[in-house]
Structure 1
Amino acid sequence: MSIAGHNSELSVGEQRALMFHHFNLIEAQKGIVRSAQDALKKLKKTAKADGLVMADLDYMARCAALEDPDIVPAEILRRAEIASWFALPVNFQPDMFVDRTPLEDRAFEEGKAAGLLGKGPEAPYDAASAAGQAWLQGWHEGQRIMREDLQSAMEKRNAAKGGDELIQGGEEVGDPFAEAAE
């Protein structure tokens, strides 16, 4: 997949690295914002303790914000029709959507995604197992891809800008890949 626009001179890997770079910076900033939401979390916890279902409260907020009152009934009808296509709740087959990918292959791809996301190398599988080893190999592959493609993407983007407004990692956030590279 190639993303059209001003980054079209970048390779697919470089585009991915650049996107993950910005994704990680944005996610780090979201973490800072989350720390300011403690009061809201406390209110939600109190509501749960009172036996309320948060999804119901969220739905109430959505309904309260709607300008067109016909939207909700139409949505309910659509969802009921979709549920009928799956014969829900009668004859529901819980294994219908089971992932049949071999465990080691899935673990490798999960590890690779974790590496691309800049997550730590802690596998969700036993480290001594084949799945744990595959996950760790995937994590290393994701880290390698990010290092190489992000560096290449940054060099190209900075060269294109001629030294003005160079693209750099966030100064306050720190490099999520620095620890892994050591």
Structure 2
Amino acid sequence: MSNIGHNSISDEDRRNLFFVHRHHYLKALAVKKAADSALKNVGKSVKADLGPNGLDQIKLYEKAKTDEGLQAIKDEIESHRQALAYADIPVNTQIDLFDMTAKFDEKAYKAGLTAGLEGETMINPYNEATQDGQDWGRGWHEGQGILFEGIKKKEQPEPESELIKQPDHGEPDFPDAEAA
């Protein structure tokens, strides 16, 4: 009776498979290390450009895009509000970051702007013949412009500092050490 996962193969075949799998593992590990390094560099760039909380903001933004994530954020904000109240820090109003204060006619524009900034394909959720459809498209184009302008700025090399150069006066008039 053979055990689950046990293959009846020769020791030589098993040894060969060991080295094949070792090769695949090491290759995948190298890819993982390179990806980890690239992710760390992105984090450093975010911190340099957006400050120490920039990466947290990006993560929070992504989390808020799901219903579960949004609820978790609301719960955490309420928990923070309670903790501040317990510490006798005056919090006179309930924090409501999710109040839709944007005018209704700006909603389509802002949604398009966000889609453009996220680099999404232009798939207008509104009928393009309506005002909302036109506003969404205008926002998307503006977001794309901002995104690509930012990408161009990040891809431009840093200007090299110029060294102060003295004019070339030919060979110096120092006597050779051998001639002395």
User: For this structure pair, what is the TM-score category when the shorter chain's length is used for normalisation?
Assistant: 0.3 to 0.5
Structure with max Cα Rg: 2
TM-score, scaled relative to structure 1: 0.34
Greater relative contact order (CA < 8 Å, ≥ 6 in sequence): 1
Q: TM-score, normalised by structure 2?
A: 0.34
